[in-house]
Amino acid sequence: MKKLTVLALLAGVLALAAFKTAKVKKVVFFGDSITQAGVNPGGYIDVLKKTLAQEGNKGYDLIGAGIGGNKVYDLYLRMDTDVLAKKPDITVIWVGVNDVWHKSMFGTGTDPDKFVKFYNALIKKLQDHGSKVVVVTPASIGEKHNGENKQDADLDKYSESIRQVAAAQHIPLVDLRKFFTEYEAAHNTSDVEKGVLTVDGVHLNETGNKLVAEQMWNVIKTVQ
């Protein structure tokens, strides 16, 4: 009888464990105007939310924290309020376009060495506060084939820096620079500067948002 009671209690515990709701992972997307637009209808964050909802996946809470014009040091300065206060399980860092673009447009970009220092500081502070980190390379400033857009060389350089940081620290990487470059080579048959994945060479169109959502999810779902 005693043995049966113990077995019954064990069965009850296992049943409760089976029905226990899994912890929802809070994911904050941290970036510039591309991410700011990502929460709008049809934006990449919105697309990902709807995709997960359609699949019945309730395991993720997706939050946008993008501000137009932000560079890497802007992210560092506002991370306490806009990210850490939300206590994310995962933070997706997507920055770099303005660090490159603003150098040629306004002379106010970020030098490569300073970019890496701020980038590493972002990662360390996020990790120190218990957030896993996913890093993303800047995708495009112009959609012509690689080497034909004015900022391609710098985008490749900054993207390579992010790849090296990811490899050195064993951080998951969404390599949108590589993905966009390969996609444009295959699909931008007229070699146009916009309209394939973006509306203006930088900000995503419908196709771009869907593909970015897919690329983001392929990595985010692997983070434990």
Model confidence band, residue 20 (pLDDT cutoffs 50, 70, 90): very low
Vertex 92: Cα angle to 159 and 70 (nearest 5): 70
Structural domain contains residue 6 = no
Structure token pair of residue 14 = 């296992």
* 130-170 pLDDT tens trace: 999 999 999 999 999 999 999 999 999 999 999 999 999 99
pLDDT of residue 189: 97
Cβ distance 92 to 134 under 8 Å?
yes
Q: Is the pTM of this model over 0.85?
A: yes
The domain spanning residue 31 has which CATH number? Answer: 3.40.50.1110
Structure token pair of residue 63 = 């939050």
| Mean pLDDT computed over 15-32 | 75
Structural domains counted in the chain: 1
Q: Residue 64 pairs with which residues in a beta bridge? A: 29
For residues 180 and 185, what is the distance between their CA atoms, to the nearest angstrom? 8
* 60-95 pLDDT tens trace: 999 999 999 999 999 999 999 999 999 999 999 999
Structural domain contains residue 1 = no
Structural domain contains residue 72 = yes
Structural domain that includes position 204: 22-220
Could you give the strand order of the β-sheet that contains 90-94, starting from the edge strand earlier in sequence?
A: 60-66, 25-31, 90-94, 132-136, 173-174
Cβ distance 30 to 91 under 8 Å?
yes
Structural domain contains residue 199 = yes
Structural domain contains residue 191 = yes
Burial class (CB in 10 A: 0-12, 13-18, 19+), 70: buried
Pairing assessment for the beta strands 25-31 and 90-94 based on DSSP bridges: parallel
Structural domain contains residue 173 = yes
Give DSSP secondary structure letters for 34-70: HHHHHTSTTSHHHHHHHHHHHTT--SEEEEEEE-TT-
Q: Considering just the CA atoms, what is the radius of gyration of the chain in Å? A: 20
- Which single residue is written with the structure tokens 């699949």? 55
DSSP E strand stretches across the chain: 25-31, 60-66, 90-94, 132-136, 173-174
pLDDT reading at 107 higher than 90 = no
Structural domain contains residue 8 = no
Vertex 105: Cα angle to 180 and 83 (nearest 5): 65
Structural domain contains residue 10 = no
